[in-house]
Each structure stands twice: as C-alpha cells, then as structure tokens.
Amino acid sequence: MIFGPEITVGAFVPDDYPAMYCWANDIVAASLDGAFRPVNLKDVIAWCEAAGKDPSRVMLAVRQRTDPKIIGYVHIHNINAVHRSADIGIRIGEEKHRGRGYGKQALGIALDYCWDHLNLERVALIVFRQNTRAISAYKAVGFKKEGLLKRLLYVDGCWVDIVLMAAFRRSRKRAQPIGRALIDANPCCRVNAVAAPIVANAPQ
C-alpha cells in the first residue's frame, strides 16, 4: 500500500467489486468517458482479477486514509517494456469524492509508481475536451497537451473532441516526484510510505 496525504492506493479486495459494478453502470459518469454500455457483475470481477496476471496493466484501488471503502481507481495499461511507455486512466466513483483533490493525489502517486517501479519514460492519457476539471487535474501533476482529435467519438447524442496528453519521467536533479512531494509535505505520511506492486479501462 502506498500512502498519500489523504488517500492510499493499493490492491483490490472482493468487497470493492460491488462499487466497481455501480460505477461501470453509471450512465452520467460514462458521458465523460465513452459510449455507455451496461456491464454485468461477472465481467467486472473477471476484469479486476485478470489484471494481476497481465503484465501489460496494473490497477490501483484508491481509498481515503480514514476509511477502507474504495472511492476510485487508477488503471495503468498498454505497458510496453521496450518503449517504456503506458496509458493511464482514473475514476473517482462518486460525486461527493470529486473536486477534493483525491484524483490529483492518486495520479501523482501513480506516476511515481510508473517511474520508480515500472521504469517507464512516458505515460499518456486521453480526455474529453469539455472535461475541464479533469484536464486541470492532469496538468497539475505534469501532463501536457499533445494534440486534439476532433469529432472522434459520438457520445450521448453529440460528437466529442478528444485531447491527447502525456507526462514524462522527471529528472531527479531537476524536480522531486509529485507523489513524494505530497508525502513530504505531510510528515505523518513519511514513516508509513511503503511502495508495493498492485494489480486493471473499465470493462465495456
């Protein structure tokens, strides 16, 4: 388990599956992620459990430090050991947990995990152009815009533009890792900040 100022990221447990199932079938949240397709619980469980056996992806469950219930997840996928690259996605499951900095903290920790444990050089993501809150969070942890794909997806009756973003490994001489900086800013996190490999884009 990896500790941040207000969250932890770590392995999934069976108690997390019902929440994952609800988020996968949230049609409102899907409007900022892709075309909605209902997903059954069996597929959600299989998707999560298969991640631990797939070297091309890693899933990190996000929780508040004060509550063991899952509030979201980070999915690192398309991991390529030759090109040292991967794609990343994040979901904070419920609106009450959004806009509180949890996603930013989780992304910062996940990027440090990509650099320090997966030895990656580049991590990319895609985001809907109108999802300005997510774009701000991505920029805050080091992602930069690389391009725009116009009218790429048809979602909820509208054509959607997709923003391409990427982050690159930081030079340790120039900058401190994002997640480590968050931990160092909160002294109570330092003793318990132990990195561990975990085990997962949402099933369609």
Residues annotated as catalytic (active site), given as ranges: 138
Residue type, 117: H
Note the pLDDT of residue 197.
35
- Average of per-residue pLDDT values in the chain: 87
SS3 153: strand
Helix H, strand E, coil C: the string for 5-73 is CCEEEECCCHHHHHHHHHHHCCHHHHCCCCCCCCCCHHHHHHHHHHHCCCCCCEEEEEEECCCCCEEEE
Residue with tokens 């100022």: 5
For residue 30, list its beta bridge partners. Answer: none
pLDDT tens digits along 147-198: 999 999 999 899 999 999 999 998 765 445 566 655 555 545 543 433 333 3
Q: Are 165 and 146 in contact (CB under 8 A)?
A: yes
Order across the sheet with 70-80: list the strands: 2-3, 7-10, 58-64, 70-80, 85-92, 122-128, 158-168, 144-155
Which percentage of the chain shows pLDDT scores above 90? 73
Residue with tokens 């469980």: 45
Pairing status of strand 122-128 against strand 85-92:
parallel
Does 53 have pLDDT greater than 80? yes
Q: Write down the pTM of the prediction.
A: 0.81
- CA quadruple 152, 25, 138, 124: dihedral positive or negative? negative
* Domain 2-123+175-189: CATH superfamily, name plus number: Gcn5-related N-acetyltransferase (GNAT) (3.40.630.30)
Q: Are 7 and 64 in contact (CB under 8 A)?
A: yes
Q: Tell me which residue of 114, 65, 63, 67 sits closest to 89, measured CA to CA.
A: 114
